[in-house]
Structure 1
Amino acid sequence: MIKIDIKKELFGSNKEMMLDVDLEIKEGEFLALSGVSGSGKTTLLRILAGFEDAKGVISVDDEIWLDAKTTLAPQKRAIGFVFQDYALFNNMSILQNLLYVKKDEALASHLLGITELSELKNRHPNTLSGGQKQRVALCRAMMGEPKLLLMDEPLSALDSKMRTKLQSEILALHKEFKTTIIMVSHDPSEIYRLASRVVVLEQGLIINEGKPKDILLKTSGSQKFSFSGELLDIKKVDVIFVAIVAIGQQLVEVVITQDEAKNLKVGDTVELSTKAFTPMLSSTKQ
């Protein structure tokens, strides 16, 4: 069990805010941290890792990592950290990167096998693709057999096909090693697929938490679909108005009334929903 009850004053570009988090995480849980940029997600990870200080208490299995008298050093916290920028040693081979953490060739070979990197073990990171580098970073984080694995948007720079592949490998590692994982992500599909619980931060505070389906699936009343997006443009086409809305990586055109067009402005966060609608779902595979 991980118990977190911390406070830290943060200074953003617009205003000061207080990161104030009181949270318990079960052993072996896969927790996702969500929320807009600047809400305190990455800072919370860094506090857990010991890279930043804070006031309060952090305990892991009754071991104190942080309190008024104690601040456990990062190297003593049994943590694995997967950064967005991989942070690999380019002067070492993939295998050497893993063995630098722990001299356990059997474990290194096992991890490389799970992530389909065995044939590349003697290559150097600067010869690998982004997806391959991220898999090496994940393996290296697991080499210390950490109690807690922290991941800060680890797949954000990858294309959708590679993200899906790595999500499967992360799930496989989580299932086998039963490591407690905390992952920062802005991708609803990634959170839904990987996490058992999601915590939403806003201005340093927890504003919502629960199962991904309950938090991310936005439906109310008789609505069949409900998506949040950004209003990019409103165009008048003959006698109708058309709104252009960005939802995730997709752009959607929606016919709106003249009154709606008057009340909306570009840049608004809008909700697109429908009631009397029978969807058709088809595969995009050719």
Structure 2
Amino acid sequence: MINININKKLHGSNADMNLDIDLSIQEGEFLALSGKSGSGKTTLLRILAGLEDATGNIKVGEDSWLDAKTKLPPQKRAIGFVFQDYALFDNMSVLNNLLYVKKDIKLAEHLLGITELSELKDRLPNTLSGGQKQRVALCRAMMNRPKLLLMDEPLSALDPAMRTKLQNEILTLHREFNTTTIMVSHDPSEIYRLASRVVVLENGKITNDGKPIDILLRTSGSQKFSFSGELLDIKKVDVIYIAIIAIGQQLVEVVVSEDEAQNLNIGDAVEVSTKAFTPIVSSV
């Protein structure tokens, strides 16, 4: 069990706020941290890693990482950290990037095999693609068999196909090593595919906590579908108005009434919902 009860004052771009977290995480759980930018997600990861100070307590099993008398340094915390920017050593081969963490050639080769990097083990990072670099970073994070794996939007810079591939590999490693994993993500499909639990932060506080299906499916009443997006444009075609809305990485056209068109502004965050129709789902 990981018990987190911490507080830290944050100086945001708009206003100051308190990061005030009281959270318990089961061993082996895969928890996703969600919420708007600036809500405190990355700061929480950095506090858990020992990279930032906070007041309060962090207890992992029987070990105290943070309390009134103790602040365990990062190198003594059994963590793995996967950043957005890979943070690899450019002058070291793929294999040596892993062995730098721990001189365990058997484990390194096992991790490279799981992530299909064995044939690239002698290559330098600057000769790899973004997806390959992130796989190396993931393997390196697992080299000390961490009790806690922290990931800060690790796949945000990758294309959809590569994201799906790495999501599968992350899940494989999480299950094989029985690592407790905390991942920051803004991608609902990624959260749904990977996480067993979602914690939503807003202004430094937990506002929602539950299973992905309960947190991510935000329909209400008799609505069958509900999607959030950004209004990009409204155009008039003959006698009807069509709203162009970005939902995730897709653009959709939605017919709106004249009254709706007059009350909407370009750049608005909007919700697209419907109460009754029969969808057709097919492979693409």
Using the size of structure 2 for normalisation, the TM-score is 0.98
Q: Indicate the residue corresponding to 1:274 in structure 2.
A: 274
Q: Indicate the residue corresponding to 2:158 in structure 1.
A: 158
Q: Indicate the residue corresponding to 1:71 in structure 2.
A: 71
Q: CA deviation at 1:72?
A: 0.6
The aligned runs of 1:1-286 (5 Å cut-off) are: 1-284=1-284
Aligned to 2:70, the other structure's residue is in SS state coil
Q: CA deviation at 1:237?
A: 2.1
List per-residue Cα deviations over 1:33-54 (Å, max 9, x = no partner): 0011111100000000000001
Q: CA deviation at 1:153?
A: 0.3
Letter in 2 for 1:35: G
Aligned to 2:142, the other structure's residue is in SS state helix
Using the size of structure 1 for normalisation, the TM-score is 0.97
Q: CA deviation at 1:139?
A: 0.3
Identity %: 79
Q: CA deviation at 1:236?
A: 2.1
Q: CA deviation at 1:255?
A: 0.9
Answer with 138-147 or 229-238: which moved more: 229-238
Answer with 200-209 or 229-238: which moved more: 229-238
List per-residue Cα deviations over 1:200-222 (Å, max 9, x = no partner): 11111111110001100122222
Q: CA deviation at 1:224?
A: 1.3
Q: CA deviation at 1:157?
A: 0.5
Letter in 2 for 1:77: R
Letter in 2 for 1:16: D
Aligned to 1:228, the other structure's residue is in SS state strand
Letter in 1 for 2:97: N
Separation in structure 1 between the aligned mates of residue 70 and residue 231 of structure 2, nearest angstrom:
49
List per-residue Cα deviations over 1:132-180 (Å, max 9, x = no partner): 0000000000001010000000000000000000011011111110000
Q: CA deviation at 1:181?
A: 0.3
Gaps of 5+ in 1: none
Separation in structure 2 between the aligned mates of residue 93 and residue 232 of structure 1, nearest angstrom:
45
Q: CA deviation at 1:267?
A: 2.0
Q: CA deviation at 1:238?
A: 2.2
Query: When the two structures are aligned, how many residues end up with a matched partner?
Result: 284
Separation in structure 2 between the aligned mates of residue 128 and residue 200 of structure 1, nearest angstrom:
34
Answer with 100-109 or 232-241: which moved more: 232-241
Separation in structure 2 between the aligned mates of residue 269 and residue 95 of structure 1, nearest angstrom:
45
Letter in 2 for 1:204: G
Letter in 1 for 2:147: K
Aligned to 2:56, the other structure's residue is in SS state strand
Letter in 2 for 1:190: E
Separation in structure 1 between the aligned mates of residue 101 and residue 125 of structure 2, nearest angstrom:
16
Separation in structure 2 between the aligned mates of residue 263 and residue 16 of structure 1, nearest angstrom:
33
Separation in structure 1 between the aligned mates of residue 92 and residue 230 of structure 2, nearest angstrom:
44
